[in-house]
Each structure stands twice: as structure tokens, then as C-alpha cells.
Amino acid sequence: MQGFYAIGELAKQADVSVQTLRHYHKLGLLEPSETSEAGYRFYSEQDASRLSLIRTLRELGFDLKTIAALLKPKQNLRDIIQLQLDSLAEQVRALGRQQVVLEAVAQASEGDEATLMRMQRLKVLASLNRLERESFLARQLGAKADDLASSEIWQAAILDMPESLDKEQLEIWLELAELAADDSFRQTLAHQTQPFEGLPKELLMAWQRDFTGILARASQLIREVQNLESDPAQTLVKDWIEALARVLNKEPNTEFISWMKQFFSSTQDKRFERYWELLSNLKALPFDAARAKAMHFLIEGLTLKQKSLLSKGD
């Protein structure tokens, strides 16, 4: 038929199969302009242009159902294109998550079985949304709803996660999540809280405020290059001992100071500093590396205080 393409001719010109054109006809995407009495399909130049458009949309990632909607009259083209852009953006994010997970296990030193299990675990962690990430940390770190509501420390450690994560943030999140799920890390964290179990919330909050202030004072003394034998340093250590003794209803004597030194020394773990560093990077907050130095300063102050009391025969 002059001016028309037979189905085989159009298929060859468009570099698609005859079966594809028949499938498009069945879906109502591309109907031939003419059909002979013998049932042969013939396509016009307009049909060929429509086929070219369909192929372009397919290459852009649109599925056939969406293409059918696009080609119908009175459809909002911009809305449908935006939906496709959103879909592609999610596909890019999904590929990014896959890349981060694979990179995390690529240099694994574990055996194949352990690596596969870790890869599956990281895949799940990488797909969590903000609320699920916060819930995961709360479960792993043993934080209760009351803790999150009342404690600034818990809120900083768990809440206010970013809504979405870029590649760098995702890498940070996976390291953070694995750290929080580590049994020895959690055991050390649980050990840190043992002396305060059963304390009324008001007392616990008061201690957190006091301890935050003590750490800030220790950091200030370090900046001033104050040694542990200076009057401000000795006063600070004394205030620290008395504040904790008051909260725990203990006498601030040599025995208590010895316990304090042993307890706080046992709770020092470089992984906690790393945990807070990761959180700071994840939330784009300033990281206070002085906290670990302040804690070391205070523990050394306890040693000096203990020796002083022992020399006096307390």
C-alpha cells in the first residue's frame, strides 16, 4: 500500500521485532492506520513517529503502562514526567545503597558464610528509614521511651537522624549501626549504667547535668594548662566525687574514691569516642574530641586524690 509500511518494514526500520509491534497493538499503544481484508497491518508515517516516541520513552525508563497513560489525551505530561524522575531518583539511591554495602564487605576478612550473612544484615540496615534507624539504635543500646524523652544524652545518641542519607552518610550509618550492635560494645555501655539503675529520674537527670558541667570544667582546665595539683583541678575532682556520692547516697571516702577510679577506668572504650564522632558526622554537628581528654584528666585526678587521702591515713 503506497505511503504505508507493512508490519515487517516498520519493524526493520525501527529496529524492533514484529512480535513487539503486535504486542503494542494488543496493548493499544500502537494501532495500524489501515488493515487489509486479509488482516495485514499497514502503518502510516504518523504511526512510525508514534513508535519512535514509544521507544524514546522506553529508553528513558518508562514502563508500558505509564507510556499508555502518557499517550492518552488530557494527561498531565509534566506530572507523569515528574513521577518518572522520582522513580529514577529512587533507583539511583537504591544502586548507591547496593554499592555501599558491597564496598563494605569487599575487603572482609571473615569466611564466605560470615561475609554473606553480614552483607544481608547491611542490606537491611541500609534500607531503613529515619524512624527505623532511631528505633534500631534504641533497641541495640537499651534505651527506653522514658530515657529518650528525659535524657539529653540519649536524645543526642539516638534521635534527630537525617531523613535521607547520601553515600557518605550511608557509610557512616552502617559503621554506626554495626558498632551499636556489637555485643562487647553494648556490654560496656550496660556496665556504665549499672550504678544508676533504679535511681529516680530526677536524680539521674541531676547527675547528668552535674557530670556534663564537670566535663566542661575539666576541658577548660586542660585548655588553661592547669595541672592536677592546682587548686582549680583539686576543687573540680572534689566536686565530682561529692556529686556522685550524693546521687548514689554514699560517703565520699577513700573506699568510694577507689571504686570511682576503678569504675570509670573500666568504662573507657575508644569505641565510644568513635560512636560520638560518627554521630556528629552523620548529623553534621561539631565533634567534641575534648571529652575523652577531660575524662582521662578526671580519672588521673582521682588517682592523685586517692594517694593524698591514703597518705593522710583516711
Structure confidence at residue 212 (pLDDT): 87
pLDDT of residue 73: 67
pLDDT in the model for residue 123: 87
pLDDT of residue 36: 83
Nearest to 33 by CA among 56, 10, 16: 10
Angle between helices 130-141 and 183-193 (to 10 degrees): 70
* The pLDDT of residue 240: 94
Report DSSP state, residue 196. G
Cα pseudo-dihedral 244, 245, 248, 249, rounded to 10? -150
**pLDDT by residue, tens only, the chain of 314 residues:** 567 889 999 999 888 899 999 999 988 888 888 888 888 888 988 888 888 888 888 877 788 888 888 787 655 667 767 767 776 776 777 777 778 888 877 776 777 788 788 888 888 888 888 888 888 888 888 777 666 555 666 777 787 888 888 888 899 999 989 988 888 888 887 787 778 888 887 888 888 889 889 999 999 999 888 888 899 999 999 999 999 999 999 999 989 999 999 998 888 888 888 888 898 888 877 666 777 888 899 999 998 888 877 676 55
Name the residue among 143, 117, 111, 132 with its Cα closest to residue 177. 132
Spatial CA neighbour of 227 closest among 297, 294, 170: 297
Q: What is the pLDDT of residue 122?
A: 87
Find residue 42's DSSP bridge partners: 6, 34
Amino acid at 180: A
How far is 162 from 278, CA to CA, in rounded Å? 13
pLDDT number for residue 153: 66
Q: Where are the domains of the chain?
A: 5-70, 86-181, 187-311
CATH 3.40.50.1170 applies to domain 5-70 = no
Q: What are φ and ψ of residue 226, in 5° steps?
A: -85, 130
**In contact, 245 and 123? CB cutoff 8 Å:** no
CA distance 148 to 154: 5
Surface-to-core class of residue 82, CB atoms within 10 Å of its CB (0-12 exposed, 13-18 middle, 19+ buried): exposed
Burial string for 271-308 (b: 16+ CB within 10 Å, else e) reads ebbebbebbbbbeeeeebebbeebbebbbebbeebbee
- The partner residues of 34 in beta bridges, in order of sequence, read 42
Cα–Cα distance measured from residue 140 to residue 151, given in angstroms and rounded to the nearest whole number: 17
User: What pLDDT, on the 0 to 100 scale, is given for residue 86?
Assistant: 72
Angle (CA) 169-171-173 rounded to 5° is 65
Looking at residue 307, its pLDDT comes to 83
**Residue 228 confidence (pLDDT):** 87
Read off the pTM. Answer: 0.57
The single-letter code of the amino acid at 285 is L
How high is the pLDDT of residue 82?
76
d(Cα 121, Cα 178) in Å, to the nearest integer? 9
